[in-house]
Amino acid sequence: MIARLRMAAAALLLSAGACSYQHYQSTFSDAAVEARQFNILFVIFLVVCAVMYALVITFLIAGIARRRRSQANVMEEGRHHESDPLMGTGLIGWGALVATGLVGLAIASFFTDRSMASAAARPKLLVTVTAKQWWWDVRYEAGDKSKTFHTANEIHLPVGVPAQIVLQSDDVIHSFWVPSLAGKQDLIPGRVNDISITPTRVGIYRGQCAEYCGAEHAKMALTVDVDSYGDFLNWWRHQLQSAPPPATPLATAGYNFVTSRNCSACHAIAGTPANGTVGPDLTHLASRRSIAAGAMPMSEGNLYGWVADPQSIKPGNHMPTIGMEPDQLHAVIAYLKTLK
Ligand SMILES: [Cu+2]
């Protein structure tokens, strides 16, 4: 019954032209324990409220019909004010039904909350997400400091493993929202929030900032890759590695430009002198799916576009347009492409 309703709701959403990526960014197609619990609760609320609504409308129509009938039959004044013996019992029954419905909803909410809390109580993976105008810094935590690393705008989680995502903000209030995986949670300056996610289905899930945070709020997306355990471990081991040294003369020229000019004041590249924290970590830039928090797909052409003139792509973002000669731009892109 619940599954049918959910399918009907999802079909409705899709037929309304929502999108062809059924599992990409949808509250209805859950891919984590937390999102599923929300969905079950949603269906319970929907069914209880729909039944009550249908009853109210039925009684209303019955009442109107009855009054019409009695007006037609009985002309003398006061007749229809006579109390109906069934009325008292009916009212008590109605009150009991409303109370049962409300208590039922409260109990359902309570158990949903409890089971989400119990999933959150045993996280196996700790990821800190810091929202910045207008991108997401992602730090994988580990007891051993040498096993901590940064990435940006792309989170990887192993399927079936409860993860705790710690949420912080450096500037204004943002909101972390990956509809297929969990509800929304705000990132508030000066405060530490968190959200737990236990993914149940391998796939790519899109999320976005859900709290207006300034000019480029609309271009502040992120993706969560839910990987099989093996794929996750491979990704994780790869992210722990430093950037390889440049192998061609062109890439070396790019390396020299990036590490000696202002790029390195804002960006970090592990294994090089670049250690800025104003912008995204670039160590494995080329392995990511998009550029600048989902503003564009990752490609050589788009990298050229971004580095040459980031302000035309995301007007107002905090990376200034940096004057470069064409050969310097070629060199920088040749180097960035090696950051796999
Ligand atoms: Cu925002």
Note the pLDDT tens digit of each residue in 96-115.
999 999 999 999 999 998 88
**47 is a domain residue:** yes
How far, in Å, is the centroid of ligand 1 from the Cα of 133? Answer: 8
* Claim to verify: residue 193 and residue 296 sit in the same structural domain: no
**DSSP code of 121?**
T
Structure tokens at 120: 């959150």
Domain span including residue 321: 249-337
Note the pLDDT tens digit of each residue in 243-254.
999 999 999 999
**242 is a domain residue:** no
* Claim to verify: residue 27 and residue 116 sit in the same structural domain: yes
How far, in Å, is the centroid of ligand 1 from the Cα of 213? Answer: 4
Note the pLDDT tens digit of each residue in 192-204.
999 999 999 999 9
pLDDT band of residue 78 (cuts 50, 70, 90) is low
Q: Which residues pair with 127 in a beta bridge?
A: 140, 165
* Claim to verify: residue 135 and residue 216 sit in the same structural domain: yes
Q: Which residues pair with 129 in a beta bridge?
A: 138, 167
* Claim to verify: residue 310 and residue 292 sit in the same structural domain: yes
Percent of the chain with pLDDT over 90: 77
How far, in Å, is the centroid of ligand 1 from the Cα of 338? Answer: 31
How far, in Å, is the centroid of ligand 1 from the Cα of 157? Answer: 23
How far, in Å, is the centroid of ligand 1 from the Cα of 135? Answer: 9
How far, in Å, is the centroid of ligand 1 from the Cα of 91? Answer: 49
How far, in Å, is the centroid of ligand 1 from the Cα of 175? Answer: 7
Distance CA 197, CA 183 (A): 10
HEC letters along 115-143: HHHHHHCCCCEEEEEEEECCEEEEEECCC
Note the pLDDT tens digit of each residue in 213-256.
999 999 999 999 999 999 999 999 999 999 999 999 999 999 99
